[in-house]
Structure 1
Amino acid sequence: MSLRLPPLPALRLFEAAGRLRSFKLAAAELGLTPSAVSHGIAGLEETLGAKLFVRGPRGLSLTAAGGDYLAYIGEALSLIAVGTQRLPSRRGERAIAVSCAPTFAARWLLPRLHRFTARWPKVGITVDTSRRHVGFPVDGFDFAIRMSRTPSRGLSWVKLLREEFVPVCSPAYRAKIVGSRGTVDLARAALIHVTTASEGWQNWLEARGLEDIDCKGGLRFDTVDLALGAAVAGLGVAIGRRPWVDRELASGELIELADKGVAAETAYWLVSASEAEGRPELRGFKRWLIAEAGKPG
């Protein structure tokens, strides 16, 4: 006897919305509108005769039935994804898919990637920097590189590196904020912030015990590249994040304004599902990435 299944597209909507706890984020991940996701979920609830979500003023949450159902649907979709990946016709054509932040990709991964492709010349690499949440293995990714203070349960987490903060500016701008005693006076500087970063000026100032500097003003940008570009242009002092700022420091475009950095509380982690160990090229990529992160500089 054949099983009666709910509409599979609706289950995909439910899995994404349940995992992300948001119709909006699920819509962005799936390339749909929030309205389409909401209507799809409503149709699924009607088909099942059960309420899956509580739509409240503080956001979306799963009902008890929805939470229980999500565990089954997530596992079922994962099995479908794994089974598809293991088809003989797909093993030779599938690239390694990596999700990571744009700064990590541009300033760390890409300058090193030639060393991996030299070892595995026939393996393709797909890098996605859309910042969306990744579900393993449902979304087709093999690895994600994420920032977090601690690892989460259910996946494989390996710490790659931790940022180090140090104020930086152009040599010309430094001359503008040197006090009468020849030392840098940050109180006179325009501070440059990265709005999408969870840590920044406030963390550095507190770690150095500097309470008399107001970090509320200044210039604000949504990427590290723009913030460093503003510092190179002489617009102010930015928090340089090693290793991302090493290129500008080596070229002399930027100089450090402190003799000691402050370690970030969050770290970059390599995240993968247990199935990532099943293919030799994935094992090779994982070992290579961990080895690169352990190299100085």
Structure 2
Amino acid sequence: MPLRLPPLPALRFFEAAGRHQSFKLAAAELNVTPSAISHGIVGLEQALGVALFIREPRGISLTAIGVDYLSYVSEAFSLIAIGTQRLPNHRADRPIALSCAPTFASRWLLPRLAGFRARWPNLDVSVDTSHRQVGFPVDGFDFAIRMSRAPVAGSAWTRLFGERFVPVCSPAYLATLRDERGVPDLQRATLIHVNAASEDWQAWLEATGSAGIDTSGGLHVDTIQLAFEAASMGLGVALGRKPLVDGDLASGALVEACKQTVTASTAYWLVSAEHADSAIQRPELADFKGWLVDEATRLDTHADAAPTTT
């Protein structure tokens, strides 16, 4: 007797909405309208006879039944995706799909991709910088680069490198911070904060033992890129994040406001589905991972020689 399955399109809607905890984000991922997602899930709930989501004015959340059901649906789609990828010659020429933050992409990854293309000229890379969760391998990504203090269970994590924090500003702004002895005084500075950063000024101040610096005010922005741009325009002092800020320091657009450098507790990690890079059908994934890890290792080895405060 054949298995009776719920409507598969509705299950796809449910998996995406449950992963994102949002009908809107699920709709954007699947290229449909939020209304289509909502109606599809209502039909699924009616077919199953259970409520999968709690709908509130502020958003949606999974019910206890929905959380349990999502684990089965996600695993089922993962198995289908893995099985499809293992078919002989299945889309063997598709790009290597990578998800990462926009500042990381523009300041670290893209400047190095020319080296990758020189070694593997026939391999294409697709870089996605949208701020959304990645489910391996269901949503088509091969790798993601994420900031974290430690690996998270359920996928394969390889450490790339950590950041080092140092205050930076424009040369002209630095001149306004100098006291009568010519020493920069951060107590005079407007601090530029990154709202989304897991570690920011407070981490640097605590690690360096700096006192008397007010972190309650200043300029607040939502990306590291904007913080660096604001600092280069003379709007204040940003927390520079080596190696992402290295280009600005080398060009002179930014200078160090002080010499105390702090090692971040988080690091950049390369994340993928477990054993994804060992698939016989796509050896290029192993090539890309190996190249990326080699680039990061050279960077971390160089960084180890620099004096830091922990």
The TM-score bracket by the shorter chain reads over 0.9
Deviation at 1:155, TM superposition (A): 0.4
Does 1:290 pair with 2:287?
Answer: no
Distance 2:277 2:19 in 1: 21
Please state whether the residue corresponding to 2:265 is helix, strand or coil. coil
Deviation at 1:286, TM superposition (A): 0.8
Matches within 5 A, 1:196-215: 196-215=196-215
TM-score by length of 1: 0.92
Structure-2 residue corresponding to 1:276: 277
Aligned length: 297
Matches within 5 A, 1:217-296: 217-274=217-274, 275-278=276-279, 279-296=282-299
Does 1:154 pair with 2:154?
Answer: yes
Deviation at 1:181, TM superposition (A): 2.2
Deviation at 1:74, TM superposition (A): 0.9
Distance 1:187 1:46 in 2: 61
Distance 1:295 1:253 in 2: 25
Deviations 1:7-37 (A, max 9, x none): 1111011112222333343334334444432
Structure-2 residue corresponding to 1:44: 44
Distance 1:199 1:30 in 2: 33
Deviation at 1:263, TM superposition (A): 1.5
Contact 2:52 2:63 survives alignment (8 Å): yes
Distance 1:227 1:210 in 2: 21
Deviation at 1:60, TM superposition (A): 4.1
Please state whether the residue corresponding to 2:298 is helix, strand or coil. coil
Distance 1:223 1:19 in 2: 24
Contact 2:277 2:283 survives alignment (8 Å): no
Q: Which one is further off, 87-96 or 233-242?
A: 87-96
Deviation at 1:133, TM superposition (A): 0.6
| Residue type of the alignment partner of 1:152 | V
Please state whether the residue corresponding to 2:151 is helix, strand or coil. coil
Distance 1:66 1:276 in 2: 32
- The gaps in structure 2 that reach 5 residues or longer are 303-310
Deviation at 1:58, TM superposition (A): 7.7
| Residue type of the alignment partner of 1:276 | D
Please state whether the residue corresponding to 1:203 is helix, strand or coil. helix
Deviation at 1:89, TM superposition (A): 4.2
Structure-2 residue corresponding to 1:138: 138
User: Relative to structure 1, is the Cα distance of residues 149 and 56 closer, same or farther in structure 2, using a 3 angstrom cutoff?
Assistant: farther
Deviations 1:239-296 (A, max 9, x none): 1111011001111221112222112222111000023320210011111111110113
| Residue type of the alignment partner of 1:277 | S
Deviations 1:110-135 (A, max 9, x none): 11112222222111111100121111
Deviations 1:129-175 (A, max 9, x none): 01211110000000000111221111001111111110011111111
Contact 1:172 1:234 survives alignment (8 Å): yes
Once the two structures are aligned, what percentage of the paired residues are identical? Answer: 65
Distance 2:49 2:122 in 1: 50
Contact 1:168 1:231 survives alignment (8 Å): yes
Contact 1:165 1:239 survives alignment (8 Å): yes
Q: Considering only aligned residues, what root-mean-square deviation do their CA atoms show, in Å?
A: 1.9
TM-score by length of 2: 0.89
Contact 2:19 2:133 survives alignment (8 Å): no
Distance 1:31 1:195 in 2: 29
| Residue type of the alignment partner of 2:283 | P
Contact 1:29 1:132 survives alignment (8 Å): no
Structure-1 residue corresponding to 2:307: none
Please state whether the residue corresponding to 2:90 is helix, strand or coil. helix
| Residue type of the alignment partner of 1:120 | W
